[in-house]
Amino acid sequence: MSLLKRLRDYPHILEVAYQFTERVVQRLHPLFKRIGYVQADALLRIPEKIGKGAVFNCQMCGQCTLHFTGMTCPMGCPKNLRNGPCGGVRLGGFCELDAMMKCVWVEAFERSQKMKVYGDGIFEIRPPLNHRLADSSAFINILSLQNDGMPNVWQTQTGIVHERK
């Protein structure tokens, strides 16, 4: 495993780095608005791909949730689960599809438990992937899109158990 990927075992540091980056991007929001989101996406897409690719093996889904999943990219799960793990995990916590690979969600859960800022995000329900956002900058998508056509009932709910009306 490369040195950069080994960083994933320090999720509490990574989440702070993520938080910092997100704040910087938010600060720059007026600038991105002025140059247009399309331009901003073109600007950020490549560095995002390289940076997150090197550390998290980012697949550029364009809707990053890795801070909510133990700084572990859920797109590494062969079933692309956003609310994993599935019930097929092998003995020792290995992937149903690849007995040599540790289950992404087993790692995600373990790492999330070490995180103070976003750690509880793993208990929230993540919406289905929007496949139209593939290969675009997730940071810009957060700024430019709001709920992306999902009905308002699909809000990420906080808290572990929520009583149905």
Partner 1 sequence: MNENRMNGRFESALRSGRFVVTAEVTPPDSADPEDVLKAGTILGKYADALNVTDGSGANCHISSLAACTILSNAGYDVIFQMSCRDRNRIAMQAELLGASALGLHNVLCLTGDDVTAGDHPQARRVFDFDSIQLLQTARIMRDEGIFLSGRKLSAKPKFFLGGADNPFVEPFDFRPLRLAKKIQAGAEFFQSQYCFDVERLKSHMQKVCDLGLPEKAFILIGVGPLRSEKTAKFLRTKVPGVMVPDAVVERMRKTLSEKKREEGKKICIEIIQQVMEIKGVAGIHMMAYKQEEAGAEVLEEVGLNNKEMMR
Comparing CA positions, the residue from 110, 89, 123, 120 lying closest to residue 9 is 110
Residue among 19, 26, 39, 157 that touches partner 1 (CB under 8 A): 157
Q: How many CB atoms lie within 10 A of CB 72?
A: 25
The phi-psi region of residue 163 (left if phi > 0; otherwise alpha if psi is between -120 and 50; otherwise beta) is beta
Closest to partner 1 by CB, 34 vs 131, is 131
CB of 95 to partner 1, least distance (A): 9
What DSSP letter does each residue of 62-83 carry, written as one string? Answer: SS--TTTTTT--GGGSTT--SS
Look up tokens 């149903």; give the residue. Answer: 96
The DSSP secondary-structure symbol of 103 reads: P
Residue closer to partner 1, measured from CB, 85 or 136: 85
Site for partner 1 in 136-155 (CB under 8 A): 149-151, 153-154
Residue ranges in 33-92 that form contacts with partner 1 under rule CB under 8 A: 78-92
Query: Would you tell me how many other CB atoms lie within 10 Å of the CB of residue 71?
Result: 28
How far apart, in whole angstroms, are the C-alpha atoms of residue 41 and residue 45? 6
- 114 in contact with partner 1 (CB under 8 A): no
* Beta carbon of residue 16, minimum distance to partner 1 (angstroms, whole number): 23
Shortest Å, Cβ 77 to partner 1: 9
Task: Closer to partner 1 by CB, 116 or 164: give it.
Answer: 164
| Contacts to partner 1 by CB under 8 A | 78-93, 96-97, 103, 105-106, 109-110, 122-123, 125-129, 149-151, 153-154, 157, 159-165
